[in-house]
Chain A
Amino acid sequence: MLESLSDKFGKVLRDVRGRGTLSESNINETLKDVRLALLEADVNFKVVKDFVASIREKALGKEVLESLTPGQQFTKIVHDELTAILGGEDSVLELSGRPAVIMLCGLQGSGKTTTAAKLAYALKKQGRSPYLVPADLFRLAAVHQLKTLAGGINVDCFDSTEYNTPAEVCTEALRIAGLKKYDTLIVDTAGRLHIDETLMGELGGLKTILKPAEILFVADSMTGQDAVNTAKGFDASLDVTGVILTKFDGDARGGAALSMRMITGKPIKYIGTGEKVECLEVFHPQRVAGRILDLGDVLTLVEKAQTTIDEKEAVALQKKIKKDTFTLDDFKDQLKRIRKMGSLDNILSMIPGFGAMKKAKNIDFDESEMTRIEAIINSMTGEERRNPACLNASRRKRIATGSGTRVQDINKFMKQYQQMRKMMKKIKKSGGAGLKGMFQNMM
């Protein structure tokens, strides 16, 4: 995500950090690069202008020019400014009222329906009882889509099929929510252009009925500055309370993310980072700034790990590594956990400096590799998993047939597994210091 921008920023900042001293002309030169990088990333003209001016002013101050580490000072300024234009503080969801109503609106194809389900899933995990309301009666099968998604996450969904207008749907859904004690209503609306007065009027009507605590504008993050103009249009007629950026896992240039807050004044609350229903992340301006500058986002990584691995299991795993009894079954468990955290690319992009490394070594992560390995392990007998040494040629052949792979794949995987065991022994000997080596080896 935001790779091209992070690429350029990473390079610019590395150049700066490499210098012992910074002069005014150095800084101007660097800022020119920064300006171009931002413009090419579809960031709004005005935002870029203000951003560069603000950095210039701060960077030309004494603290930077006279500092012993001017490059790092400069990086810090850029990081702070980026955080500021991304919104500064995290913005939490406002869930007042009973039921608290969240209304989603946006252009066609921005991802409202999928986001509605993701939000419901996230809120349910927080212990709320959400109720999904499909008020998109225009797009064919939109109601059915939300219903299906709701079924998949065990959230109740209002049956809109009997109603003719979104207003009727909302009125009735509110009544039912009161009866059945749902505490959060998530209303999906039809995609529309902000210049379409009739349809915007319809949304205004829904707002009057629903009295929503949140009106969230859902925008495709691959859209450039135009998303911002649209957001302004929606805001003007609805007074939007926040923004959700979807498809953040593509190669979005960042224009929408970087311009949204400054131009509309509305906070970005969530980002959608994948096709699965759990792929919705709270938007942390500071962390995203870190990712853009290729400084990594270790905090999110740790949080993700914590939600998928519990402490007891971690201790058990450590013991296994210590006693050298880490079997293929354990390996499979770990693999499953990692996959739960999201796509590999996404996870790795949170590691500081990974962007540059990926570029340099031309690494492309193939998720299907993990599926293949899982299939291989699944095709083994219990005995083979505990004691892979017994894998002779005929067993390997059987496993290859069973998992739909080739014998070479099995051989390759076993080699990797042996290497990993060796690495674990090293960690055991040297304490934590071996971890870094293991990581480098993996690359």
Chain B
Amino acid sequence: MFKKMKSGLSGLRQRLSKTHNSIMGGVEGAAPTMSREEFLETLEESLITSDIGVATSLDIAERIRSKGGQNVARLQEYLRDYLYDILKEVEAPLKIERSPFMVLVMGVNGVGKTTTIGKLSAHLSSAGKSVILGAGDTFRAAASEQLELWGRRTGCDVISQSIGTDPGAVTFDTIKAAIGRYANIILLDTAGRLHTKSNLMDELKKINRIAGRELAGAPHEKLLVLDASTGQNALNQARLFNEAIGVTGIVLTKLDGTAKGGIIVPLAKELKIPIRYIGVGEGVEDLREFKAREFVEAII
């Protein structure tokens, strides 16, 4: 579907180098000079600090302990297999099976929702789809302007209302417009909300309800945007958003800026929600479809 979306290992390794160094940096090169205990401890510490999760890290270290040997190449191979088994379960690209297809984009403040929508709209419209953007963030100053500028850049219509409007109303308008203009895809932006604020989560439920009422089965994709540099807190965010309206897909952004890309592992293991895209840079082409194999090879 996304012809222009980059794939393959090219560049990904470099973009995820921080996470790679965090996991492998400690043992790479130094392994031959380390004592057995040092080696295992370093590995365990590296895994924990890369946010792979305490339980998983301990499990891996235990397995390596019983295996013996501290050959880095073999360790690498082992880790790749181990993590691939977990991550392949959440490799499931977004399938757009009907028209209009509605994507509700949500997440806490500052994770990159609007930017992700902008980039997605660029990919989708260059693949020949007609996309309509809904400026459901009616709280943050200039959020709708930001989306409108994206719309201008990618040639998509943007439905917006003045600041402070009920986002439910924007949802309604956007769906009506999409149906009226025969758009293929609706990308609805929402205001950033901390997952711990029950009133804001109620607002999200309302948006979800209105979407379902105005368009059968909508939102067809409930996409949660998570900032990878958040570390373990991302897990909590995913849990609570999932409890509120059910998350059907995840976008993990800002993976290039963090050593904590390991968070993807507990996310996959615990929530089993498909990871649709990963963000590894500022460019439009840096939003990529998630491929478990190439991801594992880039971080290990």
CB contacts (< 8 Å) of A275 on chain B: these are: 109, 139
Q: State which of B112, B114, B195 has its C-beta within 8 Å of the C-beta of A250.
A: B195
A152 to B164, CA, bound (A): 13
Known: A45-B45, A145-B142. A224 touches B51 (CB 8 A): yes
Question: Separation in Å of the A251 CB from the closest CB of chain B?
Answer: 5
Residues of B146-166 contacting chain A, CB below 8 A? 146, 148-150, 163
Task: Evaluate contact between B149 and A108: CB separation under 8 angstroms.
Answer: no
CB contacts (< 8 Å) of B114 on chain A: these are: 140
A195 to B194, CA, bound (A): 28
Residues of A45-61 contacting chain B, CB below 8 A? 45
Known: A45-B45, A139-B146, A226-B231. A368 touches B199 (CB 8 A): yes
A435 to B48, CA, bound (A): 48
Q: Per-residue 0/1 for A206-224: is the Cβ within 8 Å of any B Cβ (1 yes, 0 no)?
A: 0000000000000010111
Task: Evaluate contact between A222 and B230: CB separation under 8 angstroms.
Answer: yes
Q: Taking each of A140, A251, A255, which has the highest tally of chain B beta carbons within 10 Å of its own beta carbon?
A: A140
Q: State which of B51, B142, B197, B236 has its C-beta within 8 Å of the C-beta of A142.
A: B142
Task: Evaluate contact between A111 and B110: CB separation under 8 angstroms.
Answer: yes
Q: State which of B150, B229, B232, B257 has its C-beta within 8 Å of the C-beta of A253.
A: B232
Q: State which of B202, B233, B257, B282 has its C-beta within 8 Å of the C-beta of A252.
A: B233
Known: A139-B146, A140-B150, A247-B194. A368 touches B141 (CB 8 A): no
Question: Separation in Å of the B196 CB from the closest CB of chain A?
Answer: 5
A145 to B230, CA, bound (A): 24
Q: Per-residue 0/1 for B181-198: is the Cβ within 8 Å of any A Cβ (1 yes, 0 no)?
A: 000000000000011111
- How many residues of chain B get a CB closer than 8 Å to chain A's CBs? 46
CB contacts (< 8 Å) of B141 on chain A: these are: 144-146, 148-149, 152
Task: Evaluate contact between A40 and B49: CB separation under 8 angstroms.
Answer: no
Task: Evaluate contact between A223 and B199: CB separation under 8 angstroms.
Answer: no
Q: Per-residue 0/1 for B42-76: is the Cβ within 8 Å of any A Cβ (1 yes, 0 no)?
A: 00010011010010000000000000000000000
Residues of B246-287 contacting chain A, CB below 8 A? 254, 256-260, 282
CB contacts (< 8 Å) of A39 on chain B: these are: 48, 54
Count A-B contacts at CB 8 Å: 125
Task: Evaluate contact between B142 and A220: CB separation under 8 angstroms.
Answer: no
The answer to whether B145 has its CB under 8 Å from any CB of chain A is: yes
Q: State which of A40, A148, A226, A246 has its C-beta within 8 Å of the C-beta of B260.
A: A226
A148 to B142, CA, bound (A): 7
Chain A residue at minimum C-beta to C-beta distance from B202:
A368
Q: Per-residue 0/1 for A126-163: is the Cβ within 8 Å of any B Cβ (1 yes, 0 no)?
A: 00000000000001111011111100100000000000
CB contacts (< 8 Å) of B236 on chain A: these are: 251
CB contacts (< 8 Å) of B146 on chain A: these are: 139-142, 144-145
A147 to B110, CA, bound (A): 18
Residues of A258-306 contacting chain B, CB below 8 A? 275
The answer to whether B227 has its CB under 8 Å from any CB of chain A is: yes
Question: Separation in Å of the A285 CB from the closest CB of chain B?
Answer: 22
CB contacts (< 8 Å) of B4 on chain A: these are: none
Task: Evaluate contact between A247 and B254: CB separation under 8 angstroms.
Answer: no
CB contacts (< 8 Å) of A142 on chain B: these are: 142, 146
Task: Give the size range of A's interface with the partner.
Answer: 35 or more
The answer to whether B140 has its CB under 8 Å from any CB of chain A is: yes
A220 to B254, CA, bound (A): 13
The answer to whether A367 has its CB under 8 Å from any CB of chain B is: yes
Question: Separation in Å of the B137 CB from the closest CB of chain A?
Answer: 11
The answer to whether B175 has its CB under 8 Å from any CB of chain A is: no
Q: Taking each of B148, B194, B195, B233, which has the highest tally of chain A beta carbons within 10 Å of its own beta carbon?
A: B233
Question: Separation in Å of the A68 CB from the closest CB of chain B?
Answer: 38
CB contacts (< 8 Å) of A343 on chain B: these are: 197
Task: Evaluate contact between A109 and B227: CB separation under 8 angstroms.
Answer: yes
Task: Evaluate contact between A193 and B257: CB separation under 8 angstroms.
Answer: yes
The answer to whether A235 has its CB under 8 Å from any CB of chain B is: no
Q: State which of B49, B118, B143, B150 has its C-beta within 8 Å of the C-beta of A45.
A: B49
CB contacts (< 8 Å) of B16 on chain A: these are: none
Question: Separation in Å of the B43 CB from the closest CB of chain A?
Answer: 14
CB contacts (< 8 Å) of A380 on chain B: these are: none
Known: A140-B146, A141-B146, A148-B141. A42 touches B232 (CB 8 A): yes
The answer to whether B111 has its CB under 8 Å from any CB of chain A is: yes
Question: Separation in Å of the B226 CB from the closest CB of chain A?
Answer: 11
CB contacts (< 8 Å) of A193 on chain B: these are: 256-257
What are 14 of the A-B contact pairs (CB < 8 Å)?
A: A107-B229, A109-B109, A109-B112, A109-B254, A139-B115, A141-B145, A145-B142, A145-B145, A224-B260, A250-B194, A251-B233, A343-B197, A366-B198, A368-B202
- Nearest 4 A-B pairs (CB), nearest first? A109-B110, A145-B142, A224-B231, A141-B146
The chain A residues found within 8 Å of chain B, CB to CB, are 39-40, 42, 45, 107-111, 114, 139-142, 144-149, 152, 193, 195, 220, 222-227, 229-230, 246-247, 249-253, 255, 275, 343, 364, 366-368
